[in-house]
């Protein structure tokens, strides 16, 4: 599968799944803008890719930052954006009644408002591409519920409606809109969450694995594979869809 000549923008790509997706698109021939709130992390990923990538710092909760990100991407590509991945997100774990209001607000600002602002900026460019694809990173928390994850659940459920609405609005303009909903993924993000909630990270990982029908965590490479598929012509009839990437965890109880 070749993405030679394509321009791809990925937010939250300084680490984890976003970083892996950036490397994978570049390996397939695309030029990639690696965006993250952490400018140093973004630069590290871009440098590991080489001349086919550049780094741009972006706080997706800022509409001005999102606009500037797309403008810089268009200058780097010399063309409109072909694939925009709204991947940036924050976790929330803890007792809902004890949660700090500012913490809750920031999760909503990044996961909901940030997805909206970055998608709006991205779509202004995508509508001028002949192969446009907008991909959100959701979560199995966007299709199920889980205690101690209330606001994160709410923020990811919001993306499901956004994907469907934007698919209807922008399909006639040639843009496909989809989401990837990963389950427990072997990343720093997951381990940080488990450390807050469970304490013993290794024991918590083992319990997670035992509850997954395929008996393993999702890997960042699995996410990158899904992103490449949804962006590619192989998925030319797929829009308004949330792709579950969960090793069977939402199929039911084992």
Residues recognised as catalytic: 139, 152, 156
Helix axis angle, 39-49 to 16-27, nearest 10°? 30
Burial of 35 (0-12, 13-18, 19+ CB in 10 A): buried
- From 39, 20, 72, select the one nearest 187 (Cα to Cα): 20
Question: 167 near 146, Cβ under 8 Å?
Answer: no
| Whole-angstrom distance, CA of residue 41 vs CA of residue 13 | 8
Neighbours of 165 (CB within 10 A): 12
Are the CB atoms for 229 and 1 separated by under 8 Å?
A: no
Report angle CA 126, 127, 132 to the nearest 5 degrees.
Answer: 50
Q: Which helix (H) or strand (E) holds 33?
A: strand 31-36
Q: CA separation (Å) from 96 to 75, 139, 151, 223? A: 44, 19, 8, 29
């Amino acid at each position: 599968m070749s993405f030679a000549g394509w321009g791809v923008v990925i937010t939250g790509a300084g680490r984890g799944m976003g970083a892996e997706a950036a490397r994978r698109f570049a390996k397939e021939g695309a030029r990639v803008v690696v965006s993250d709130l952490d400018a140093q992390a973004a630069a590290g990923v871009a440098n590991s890719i080489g001349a086919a990538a550049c780094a741009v710092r972006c706080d997706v909760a800022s509409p001005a930052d999102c606009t500037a990100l797309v403008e810089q991407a268009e200058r780097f590509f010399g063309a409109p954006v072909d694939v925009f991945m709204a991947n940036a997100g924050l976790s929330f774990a803890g007792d809902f009644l004890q949660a700090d209001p500012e913490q809750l607000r920031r999760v909503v600002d990044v996961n909901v408002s940030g997805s909206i602002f970055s998608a709006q900026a991205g779509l202004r460019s995508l509508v001028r591409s002949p192969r446009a694809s907008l991909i959100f990173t959701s979560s199995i928390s966007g299709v199920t519920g889980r205690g101690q994850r209330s606001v994160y659940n709410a923020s990811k459920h919001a993306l499901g409606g956004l994907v469907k609405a934007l698919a209807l609005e922008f399909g006639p303009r040639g843009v496909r809109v989809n989401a990837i909903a990963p389950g427990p993924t072997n990343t720093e993000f997951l381990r940080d969450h488990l450390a807050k909630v469970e304490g013993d990270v290794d024991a918590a990982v083992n319990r997670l694995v035992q509850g997954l029908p395929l008996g393993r965590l999702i890997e960042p490479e699995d996410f990158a594979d899904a992103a490449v598929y949804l962006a590619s012509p192989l998925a030319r009839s797929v829009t308004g869809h949330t792709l579950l990437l969960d090793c069977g965890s939402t199929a039911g109880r084992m």
